[in-house]
Amino acid sequence: MRHTKKLVITLLIATFMAMLPVGVSANDYAPEPPAFSHAAGFYSEPFELTLDAAPGTVIRFTTDGSIPSQNSPVFNRAIPIVAPATTAANSPISVQGIGWAYEGGWTNSFRPRLVYNGMVIRARAFAPDGTASETVTQSFFVDAGELTNIRTLSLTMEPQHFTHTRHGMYNNWGPRRAYGDYDPRLIPWPYPSWEGTRHVVNVEMFAPGGELIVSQEARAWVMGQFSRRHAKRSLRLNFNQGDGDIRGLYDLIPNTTRNFYDATTPVGNFRHLNARLSEQHRSGVRDAVVHLMSEPLRPTIQNLAYGAVFINGEFWGMYCLRTHRHSHLLGELFDVPRNSIWMNDDVQDWANAIFIYEVVEDFLRARGITDNLRNSPLSNTAINEFTNNGGLEAFAERVCLDDFIDYLIIGYHFGNWDWISNNFEYWRSTEIIPDVHGGDGRYRFIIQDFDHSIGSPRNWGADFNVLDDFTSPDLQENWRRPQWVLNLVNIMFATPEFRNTFAARYSTYTGTVFHPAMAEYLLDEMIAERAPTMAMDSYRWRLNNTTSPTDSSGWLNEMEFIRNWLTARTSYSVGHLAEHYNRNDLPSLNQRLPEQLTNITWQTDADQGWFNISGAHIREDLFLRRGTHGFEIGNFSAYYIRTLPIEVTAMPQEGYAFSHFEITGAITSNISTNPMTIIPPASGDRITVTAIFNPQ
């Protein structure tokens, strides 16, 4: 009888569905969702929230993040939206519920503290036949203090999707529970009914000041190498749910541009957002400094912003919110069709960077050199063949050499010992698209995570020589510096054109883009923005020896480490480069070297033109958003390795034409050739180069 009854019900449902007009689903007959008396957002005082729906429907609601069901409370009186709870017992999801989120489970020393929570109300209207409306989700924050002035993501989800000890995305389970990412492949069949590749969350975005930007569903998951080993995890959001692109992401991170290739046109249509682990080993500020200081260079950066993340109403922490580079965003950035973009990141393997080395391998094998090119040091025969018979030219046919040099410069300057084999991303168009950046089909590069830079996580000083770390045959090979990486770096620096360009361009950047005053300016901006709320984050996650949610002293000490590192870096880095170039007349690598090099001052009227120095473009539009600090577009100085050639091009502004160069100091000359080559004198004496332009 039971089976007969079940069959009848199934047939009735099928008959009803068949009777629906084409293009109409049962959801089209669902009630309208409830209306809220107050908008989501930040409020200075408690208030009472009322809900309204069509006559004859029943409103049911939840406050724990779950989607309302027939068993949820009925709305029959105003809901008090109150000031924040201050104890875990009043926490919407309770920090007690994530017991497997840290290796071995929580301990008293790592259990997060509750420092603030808002309230999340989810409501649906139910018709008498049980048909339910769509769910409305709204977050409310009362008396949020400094959090009101910070961009905010409020993530709302079924609690078990987050905290379930086996299947929650925050609680890694399975063979890699202690260290692995959330990965459904590790969960044995059958999956729970709510299981999916990623869990669906509702995301509300609030601009600084509390204005709601957008509320939409996304899929979220937990990732991040270092965050696997720490209670606080990185979160990643994928906005492929819903209609179209999420303009709200542009409003949340308004500085997304094409950087070097177009620093002024904003780009807003992108779908992916990372909430990057912040302030453990200086992570958030460190990555932000790298990306902001590297903005005037060619590689694509990940634009970012500082923000608070709430999960089911509970303050989860402060994060570095950033765009996630993928084919969709690259297509939006550079007007390349998404299906015409290849990215090595699509190959989920630590060795995915090796595709770039295959360009070198192909050149050598085509010339009969069949040594073990990948797992053994290159022979002198292989190096000589590459450097003397067009290897770099062949490399540049498949790799944008200017982009590659800038990418290596960024890794070198910031002491990134994760360089090159890990977190190494690049892309190319798979077809030739004229007049479009990247449309030539050559590889171009993306600045991703700089997990091991600016002295982190081992507190290495500014004198750390990362170039030596990736070229010395005396250091042991490991997964961060496999043999093919050593071969790639060594063969590039063995090629005179590459080494000369790298040295001259990097020296120019140390006096401009990487100037210590620029580093301090950007760092001070970030400290001013983050300090009021970073104490809350440090206190919640027991970081930096923080003793209260208003104590930011430990975090500020970490910022001083970054400051000291960045301001001292250029005092060592050019000298490291000189030493690598076998300039034995210079002191040892741990001494500061600018007095041993040649100082060159570059001067011009910035309204009339600018300098291109061995591919380093020092032009005004690259610095419009943050200004210049410690230098001027038309007046800056840097230290260069003596006797290495520098290619200089004077670039006239519209309405002007190049006249000549005036060189004074150790060299005195007027040169009308443009571009020209200048060789810093062996004496090390200062020189000044002035570019003269005339109105057309």
Contact 639, 597 (CB under 8 A): yes
In whole angstroms, give the CA distance from residue 494 to residue 391.
Answer: 11
Task: Please tell me whether residues 526 and 497 are part of one structural domain.
Answer: no
In whole angstroms, give the CA distance from residue 5 to residue 564.
Answer: 76
Domain end point (choices 545, 572, 592): 592
- Give the count of domains, the chain: 5
**Residue 44: predicted pLDDT:** 93
**Residue 293: predicted pLDDT:** 92
Contact 664, 687 (CB under 8 A): yes
Task: Please tell me whether residues 176 and 37 are part of one structural domain.
Answer: yes
**Residue 88: predicted pLDDT:** 46
Task: Please tell me whether residues 272 and 385 are part of one structural domain.
Answer: no
**Residue 260: predicted pLDDT:** 75
Task: Please tell me whether residues 20 and 38 are part of one structural domain.
Answer: no
**Residue 356: predicted pLDDT:** 84
Six-digit token pair at 495?
A: 């090629």
Task: Please tell me whether residues 61 and 49 are part of one structural domain.
Answer: yes
Task: Please tell me whether residues 159 and 20 are part of one structural domain.
Answer: no
Domain end point (choices 572, 592, 612): 592
Tell me how far the alpha carbon of residue 690 is from its chain's centroid.
38
In whole angstroms, give the CA distance from residue 306 to residue 253.
Answer: 9
**Residue 539: predicted pLDDT:** 86
By residue range, what is the domain housing residue 4?
1-29
**Residue 650: predicted pLDDT:** 98
Contact 362, 386 (CB under 8 A): no
The Cβ-side half-sphere exposure at 187, using a 13 Å CA radius, reads 22
Tell me how far the alpha carbon of residue 336 is from its chain's centroid.
21
Task: Please tell me whether residues 365 and 497 are part of one structural domain.
Answer: yes
Task: Please tell me whether residues 550 and 639 are part of one structural domain.
Answer: no
Task: Please tell me whether residues 520 and 417 are part of one structural domain.
Answer: no
pTM of this prediction?
0.86
Is 92 a member of any domain? yes
Is 330 a member of any domain? no
Report how far apart, in Å, the C-alpha atoms of 208 and of each of 204, 252, 305, 308 are: 13, 9, 11, 10
Low-confidence ranges of the chain (pLDDT < 70): 1-28, 85-111, 163-198, 221-231, 233, 238-252, 254-255, 263, 265-272, 276-281, 345-353, 419-421, 457-458, 473-479, 582-596
In whole angstroms, give the CA distance from residue 503 to residue 641.
Answer: 7
Domain end point (choices 592, 612, 643): 592
Task: Please tell me whether residues 444 and 479 are part of one structural domain.
Answer: yes
Strands 444-446 and 646-652: unpaired
Contact 276, 321 (CB under 8 A): yes
Rg (CA), the chain: 29
